[in-house]
């Protein structure tokens, strides 16, 4: 950019807020922010000012300035005003950059300058897109006349110094960066954005490992409103990418997770990917990134700033950076207003739910084991399967051919709390749903999909659960039948489980966990 001169108009009498150019925004004055941005682009900088104080700031930054205490710049004719001042400058291209748009950074200006060079005979002007529908009132009807249009953003003009062409070309700036300080509210918004940190969630989800990590990370992300959130998924986790994209978070599918994260330059990475590798975490730390891991027993825990293993009540490893057990279990948002059960003498309904993917098809195994007794007692069966459930056709075929129809099937796992409000007992796998069932005071029969899941020890008799261990193709079905019969027929037994489970509530945990994480940044 040797052929460009970056001019910063800094006229105090044009300010909309008293002394706004020398007032600190998130610890740095507006004029200094503009200078810092300019220095990232070029050494050819000129400050035009009517202020001795701003002149001094320019001197201390070793930047050329033009001072005139009687200076006044007409905003509607600013290009001609500036051209009169810089007419003897050797640089042909001028970037007129205003300090009152502090979110317009050097990256945006570089892209704009590249765009200008494609058609240097125009004046490139910054604009923002107003995606609004405009109506006119005609014949007693509202008639749409516009869907979106440009509004000038007084961030920059880029033009040739000697050009007399007055043709303008728009350069649209994303809404996130297109805030112009015109009042104290704009100032406050800019400060809040500048104070934001960038947080990356690295998550996994598939038919084999389930969707629990996705739901957990989304729940935490929903609680973080003051910072920028980006999700990263390895390419093989297509289900995870699709689910996160539905929530309107920015999500990146990548073949190189580590490189993608480092290129994003986040302040914090939250890994919800099971065991982490030591070298992966070391690389993050070497790039000055804070690291939080969930459900991690891998070698990477040694280097992480914080490891939260909420599904393990008994510590599996030693270290000062661990938090263990159900006190750190964060419920999904839908449970915040859900109504926990009071004990009922009769079982009128039962819930079957085995995670987002249910790789062993325990849903159908359980349904077949309990359906005869449910039909005999007219107990309604609610079945909740996730979006990754791979046995949909088999399950639906069984339901269609069976004579018992007091069954409700849904794949909308995002409303499971509403269904839990209706069911007195449940069958579930040994993941995060266990804690949701506990929070809702529902005695539950637990079957683990695999050995790792079986290491989660919360689901025990003293906490109101019947734990059948890891799924056994030869034994589990009959055990399910026996436990269902006992829960339905033995009120005293079910009440004991209810009293055990009703001691636990997790509704304040999420705020505590998020607060602990954010304290790192």
Average pLDDT over residues 83-95: 91
Tokens of 124: 């490139």
- 154's tokens: 């007084």
pLDDT in tens, 213-254: 888 899 999 999 899 999 999 999 887 888 888 888 899 999
148, pLDDT greater than 70: no
Claim to verify: residue 234 and residue 380 sit in the same structural domain: no
Contact in structure between 488 and 379 (CB atoms under 8 Å): yes
Both 248 and 390 in a single domain?
A: no
Q: Is the pLDDT of residue 394 over 70?
A: yes
Tell me which of 140, 168, 194 is where a domain ends.
194
- Residue-wise pLDDT for 23-60, tens only, equals 999 999 999 999 999 999 999 999 999 999 999 999 99
State both tokens at 31: 């004029």
DSSP structure string for 269-336: EEEESSSPPHHHHHHHHHTT-EEEEES--SGGGGT-SEEEETT-SS--S--TTEEESGGGPPPPGGGS
Segment 374-389 shows an average pLDDT of 92
Res. 14 pLDDT band, cuts 50 70 90: confident
| Spatial CB neighbours of 173, under 8 Å, sequence gap ≥ 6 | 104, 108, 126, 127, 128, 153, 155
- CA nearest 231: which of 208, 256, 197, 254? 254
Out of 194, 210, 238, a domain closes at 194
CA distances from 82 to 9, 30, 77, 97, 107 (A): 8, 20, 9, 11, 24
Do 119 and 149 sit in the same domain of this protein?
yes
Same domain, 296 and 188: no
Return mean pLDDT, the chain. 92
In the chain, the number of structural domains is 3
- Flag whether 506 is in a domain: no
Residues 169 and 229 reside in one and the same domain = no
Provide the 10 A C-beta neighbour count for residue 322. 18
Q: Print the domain residue range for 466.
A: 335-501
Cα separation of 338 and 334, whole Å?
Answer: 7
246 in a structural domain: yes
How far apart, in whole angstroms, are the C-alpha atoms of residue 130 and residue 175?
A: 9
pLDDT in tens, 438-476: 999 999 999 999 998 888 999 999 999 999 999 999 999
| 453 and 347 part of one domain | yes
- Within a domain: residue 282? yes
CATH number at residue 284: 3.40.50.11190
| Same domain flag for 79 and 148 | yes
**150 shares its domain with 230:** no
What pLDDT digit, counting tens, does each position of 398-444 carry? 999 999 999 999 987 778 999 999 999 999 999 889 999 999 999 99
Give the per-residue SS3 of 118-139: CCCCCEEEEEEEECCCEEEEEC
CA torsion, points 241, 246, 247, 249, in degrees to nearest 10?
50
Which tokens is 113 given? 């300058």
Give long-range contacts, CB 8 A cutoff, 24+ apart: 321-328.
Answer: 323/516, 326/435, 326/458, 326/504, 326/506, 327/509, 328/509, 328/512, 328/513
Is residue 490 included in any domain, yes or no?
yes
Share of the chain above pLDDT 90, in %: 75
Closest by CA to 121, choosing from 80, 64, 86, 164, is 164
My answer on whether 204 and 119 are in the same domain is: no
- Is residue 452 included in any domain, yes or no? yes
Half-sphere exposure of 360 (CA within 13 A, CB side): 17
Asked, for residue 508, whether it belongs to a domain, the answer is no
Radius of gyration of the chain (CA): 31
Last residue of a domain, one of 137, 170, 194: 194
Region 307-325: what's the mean pLDDT? Answer: 93
Instruction: Specify whether 342 is located in the same domain as 483.
Output: yes
136 in the same domain as 155? yes
Cβ(132)–Cβ(122) below 8 Å:
no
Residues 325 and 339 in one domain: no
């Amino acid at each position: 950019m040797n052929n460009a001169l970056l001019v910063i108009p800094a006229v105090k009498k044009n300010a909309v807020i008293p002394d706004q150019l020398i007032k600190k925004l998130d610890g740095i004055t507006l004029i200094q922010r503009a200078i810092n941005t300019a220095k990232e682009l070029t050494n050819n900088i000129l400050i035009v000012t009517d202020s001795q104080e701003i002149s001094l700031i320019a001197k201390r930054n070793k930047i050329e300035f033009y001072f005139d205490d009687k200076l006044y710049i007409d905003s509607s004719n600013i290009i001609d005003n500036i051209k009169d001042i810089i007419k003897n400058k050797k640089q042909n291209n001028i970037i007129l950059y205003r300090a009152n748009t502090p979110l317009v950074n050097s990256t945006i200006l570089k892209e704009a300058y590249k765009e200008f060079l494609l058609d240097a005979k125009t004046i490139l002007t910054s604009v923002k897109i107003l995606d609004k529908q405009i109506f006119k009132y005609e014949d007693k009807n509202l008639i749409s006349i516009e869907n979106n249009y440009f509004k000038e953003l007084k961030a920059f003009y880029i033009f040739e110094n000697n050009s007399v062409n007055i043709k303008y070309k728009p350069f649209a700036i994303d809404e996130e960066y297109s805030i112009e300080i015109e009042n104290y509210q704009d100032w406050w918004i800019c400060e809040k954005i500048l104070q934001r940190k960038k947080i990356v969630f690295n998550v996994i989800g598939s038919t084999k490992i389930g969707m629990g990590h996705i739901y957990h990370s989304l729940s935490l992300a929903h609680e973080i409103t003051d910072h920028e959130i980006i999700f990263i998924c390895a390419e093989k986790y297509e289900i995870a990418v699709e689910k996160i994209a539905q929530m309107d978070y920015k999500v990146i599918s990548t073949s190189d997770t580590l490189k993608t994260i480092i290129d994003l330059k986040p302040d914090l990475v939250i890994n919800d990917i099971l065991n982490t590798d030591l070298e992966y975490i070391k690389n993050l730390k070497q790039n000055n990134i804070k690291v939080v891991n969930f459900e991690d027993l891998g070698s990477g825990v040694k280097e992480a700033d914080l490891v939260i293993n909420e599904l393990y009540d008994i510590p599996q490893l030693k270290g000062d950076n661990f938090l263990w057990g159900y006190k750190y279990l964060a419920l999904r948002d839908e449970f915040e207003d859900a109504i926990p059960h009071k004990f009922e003498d009769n079982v009128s309904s039962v819930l079957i739910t085995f995670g987002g993917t249910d790789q062993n098809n325990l849903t159908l195994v359980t349904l077949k084991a309990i359906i005869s007794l449910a039909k005999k007692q007219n107990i309604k069966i609610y079945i909740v399967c996730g979006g990754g459930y791979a046995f949909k056709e088999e399950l639906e075929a069984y339901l269609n051919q069976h004579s018992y129809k007091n069954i409700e099937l849904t794949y909308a796992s995002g409303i499971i709390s509403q269904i839990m409000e209706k069911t007195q007992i449940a069958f579930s796998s040994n993941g995060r749903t266990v804690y949701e069932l506990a929070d809702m005071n529902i005695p539950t029969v637990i079957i683990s999909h695999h050995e790792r899941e079986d290491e989660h020890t919360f689901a025990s008799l003293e906490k109101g659960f019947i734990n059948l261990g890891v799924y056994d193709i030869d034994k589990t079905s009959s055990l399910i039948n026996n436990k269902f019969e006992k829960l339905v027929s033995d009120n005293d037994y079910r009440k004991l489980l209810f009293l055990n489970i009703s001691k636990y509530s997790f509704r304040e945990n999420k705020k505590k966990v998020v607060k602990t994480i954010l304290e790192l940044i």
